[in-house]
Chains A and B, each alone.
Chain A
Amino acid sequence: MVNVIDYVPGDTVLHRLNPVTKLGVAAAIIIATFTADTYPMLLALLALTFVLGLYARATSKLVSLLKLLVPIAVVMLVLQTAFMRQGTPVVLWMTSEGLVTGSKASLRLLGVALPLVLMLSVTKLNDLANACVEVLHVPYRYAFTFTTALRFVPVFGQQMNAIMEAQCARGVEYDTKNPIRKLTLMLPLCVPLLVSSVGKTDATALAAEQRGFYLRTRDSSYKRHPMRALDVVVLACGVVLVALGIAL
């Protein structure tokens, strides 16, 4: 199973940046993507994400995510063209204006989702949590909740998979081609998933407490995450990027 938020090990500058800086970079790209309004800028931002991904050797993650996002982007494009009928007709019902706004919306969708995943895939979750606590002064409780939630995503994914397989082997038609039928068949499975997740979260809380969770302070972390000169430079680049996004 390919998990999009798995850590990709490496020793690039991107890996070594402070996790908070990485979040900042991702945020900068995302904000710039929202504010940019020209094709060159939108494409450049996407290209930047891919160049960074290539550099951090995390392109496979981006590609697997793209496979998921491109169909959604295409649907968005078609819907946009259906609603935006101004401008000159180009092909079928599509108009020039519809195509322009639609394609930009699709590009934005890709430009928003990819940077965040890229940054998460070059950052260990615990480092991210600890850095947020240390640099941003986020209370540890929230950071812990966040990392635990992310950690449970693949666990629940596996569980859902096991449940589907078990039901399929009983003769429930998950292999049906009809997506609506599949959805109605999947609904009852929420019960076993919910039951087990409640038990899991309770056990997690207990285990964390038994390992001194409530004693933890901002200075507990063994690994320190100070902001270095490089981080400042990278963040400054991020600000420039946002400015460019607003201008272009």
Chain B
Amino acid sequence: MQESKSIIEMSHVTFRYGEAAAQGKEVPAALRDVSLRIGEGEFVGVIGPSGAGKSTLASVLSGAIPHHYRGELFGSTLVDGRDTCDVTLTDISQVVGSVLQDIDTQMVASVVEDELLFGLENFGVPHDQIEDRIARTLDTVGVAGLRDRETATLSGGQKQKVAIAAILAMRPRVLVLDEPTAALDPASSALVFDTLRKVREEGVTVVVIEQKVALLSEYCDRILVMDGGALVLDGTPREVFAHADELRRIGVDSPRVARVYNSLARDGLVRGATPCLTVPEAAELIGGLVGSAVRGPAHTADDARAAAIRAGSKHVAVPRPHAVDATPVVSLEDVSFAYPGGTASVDHLDMRVYPGEVVGIVGQNGAGKTTLTKLLNGLLRPASGTVRMAGLDTREVPTSAIAAHCSTLFQNPDHQLCKDTVLDEVAFGLTLQGVGEKDARERAAAVIARFGLPSDEAPFSLSRGQRQMVALASVVVMEPEVVLLDEPTSGLDYRECMTVMDTVSDMAERGCAVIMVCHDMEVVSDFAERIVVMADGRILGRGGTQQMFGDADLMRRACVRAPQVTELSQVLARTTSPEFAGISQVSGIVDLTEEMVRRG
């Protein structure tokens, strides 16, 4: 890998944003002394917490720094041997193609074909080659069938692929992508990475910023970890994920199977620093450790036997006890709804949620999850059937009245924020419900203090993660009976994600019913006791989280991939010992393995 010719060389690059920095004033550096060499044909993943400088790094690679963003730049960046300061942005972009985070702003055309034409025309590709280029690029990316489609009618995943195709058509030698899968479900995310892998096979160097560690570890051959503007780790996925403690300190997630390995290594059961990255690797490792002594009964284990073992196992999460006779705080009875124009619909939804429960709703994009949440908070009214929210029939009361009982945390906090200061913002919901100004501000101030937010600052001046915290604080302060979360963790780094989820769990402890739509199955597995599996506007199944994840057929029909630990425990239960069945936590797998090694 290191022998390949380098296409990008950064040496001691430091960058500070803004006019103030350009005039030499003190501004914290967005990049600090980054030196980096990327060889031709590498597939590099970049990860790090919010504000670590990942997007800034992408801007330096693509020439947007120094040519578009103002600021103070030190060091040198060579792209294909030329210093980015000495050539124009247009020259750089003929070598480095970049796909922006918000693809809506990148698209220039209303039709897919025109989107690809734009760059080709501008860079003066001879007209007799254009047809061939378009056809081949669409083919590589796997969207040949979309050529004449309107971009507005594409799904998120298709749009992302078209955006990649539009850049790829220009034949850049490096492709830089900023969180291409942030808005996508797991299946579409994997397809985008499949596309990137194919692009790399055609000889293009790929640099991708990504928060999903499982994808990075599976597809990339090199991972860069950034923190506070500096490059802190650089190596193969195995090398990087061996630094468990350091990653945790920085606030970067590790694949769960790598965590299993790292825990076993910490306890001295395995030696070396080459963590597993996939479920089969981990299963093989544990199978080898535990040995064949206990393998016998596994082949004959039937469900009853497995269940008996599971019932007695301390490694299986015990569902939170809630009163069997309790009245559900949310209930849907035979609810159907169709959007005008017949584009999408949900049919015959039945569901009950009790106080203190955390219920996850999983399924592909377009399965009807968001429609379900809108039916719950009253933004949509059912065409047939009834939705009862805290005793109110949503068809009989205005949405603003439902808001007194049910708070929604939206995926994009920016849609929620509208006040000048954090304090006003958090108090706003209370005043809307008729709480007195003074009382509202006192309650808001208490919550803000608990979250450690700056109460006098303007919400829009905060970082993305902090804006999400402000939105969350305005939900918490309402002390609602029901909380709806729509993709609560998207766009957040690992630490912010945990803060959000811990807060939500606290609310559930205090009797609030939590319903969350979430694509991150690890989060669902860790926090939800029950899940509702949706596909094509219908509920395919509902039940205990592990039971649902364990139903391979159901997961396949819903196009949902069970979390890694669940997959691992299933494989181990099949191949090694039925005792592994139903374990959902890394610690459970590790404890059981160690116990079995001691016994064995």
Contact = CB atoms under 8 A, between A and B. Distances in A.
A74 B170 CA distance: 53
Interface residues of B, number: 66
A166 B68 contact: no
A216 B401 CA distance: 55
A169 B419 CA distance: 16
A171 B415 contact: no
Interface stretch (B103-111, B239-247, B505-513, B581-589): B103-111
B121 A172 contact: no
Interface in A201-235: 201, 203-216, 220-223
A7 interface: yes
B106 to A, nearest CB: 4
Contacts of B124: 215, 220
Contacts of A172: 400, 432
Nearest to A144: B108
Contact of A222 (B90, B120, B152): B120
Contacts, number: 160
A97 interface: no
B93 A212 contact: yes
B416 A211 contact: no
Contact of A209 (B89, B399, B428): B89
Given A126-B111, A192-B418, A170 B93 contact: no
B549 to A, nearest CB: 30
Interface string B85-102: 000011001100110101
A171 B410 CA distance: 14
B89 A210 contact: yes
A173 B150 contact: no
Contacts of A195: 414, 460
B61 to A, nearest CB: 12
A167 interface: yes
Q: How large is the interface on A (under 10, 10 to 19, 20 to 34, 35 or more residues)?
A: 35 or more
Nearest to A215: B122
Interface of A is mostly: helix
B418 A208 contact: no
Contacts of B106: 203-204, 207
Contacts of A196: 414
B74 interface: no
A124 B114 contact: yes
Interface of A: 2-3, 6-7, 9, 124-126, 144, 147-148, 151, 154-155, 159, 162-163, 165-175, 188-189, 191-192, 195-196, 200-201, 203-216, 220-223
Give 5 nearest A-B pairs by CB, closest first. Answer: A212-B122, A171-B403, A166-B415, A203-B105, A171-B432
Given A169-B403, A203-B105, A216-B121, 14 more contacts: A7-B150, A148-B108, A162-B410, A168-B403, A170-B408, A171-B404, A171-B429, A172-B400, A172-B432, A204-B106, A207-B106, A209-B68, A210-B62, A210-B63
30 contacts: A7-B110, A124-B114, A126-B117, A147-B108, A151-B108, A163-B418, A165-B415, A166-B416, A168-B399, A169-B377, A170-B428, A171-B403, A171-B432, A174-B400, A175-B400, A191-B460, A195-B414, A204-B106, A204-B108, A206-B64, A210-B63, A210-B93, A211-B108, A211-B119, A211-B122, A211-B166, A211-B167, A212-B122, A215-B90, A223-B117
Interface of B: 62-64, 67-68, 89-90, 93-94, 97-98, 100, 102, 104-111, 114, 117-124, 127, 130, 148, 150, 152, 166-167, 170, 341, 374, 377-379, 398-401, 403-404, 406-408, 410, 412, 414-419, 428-429, 432-433, 460, 474
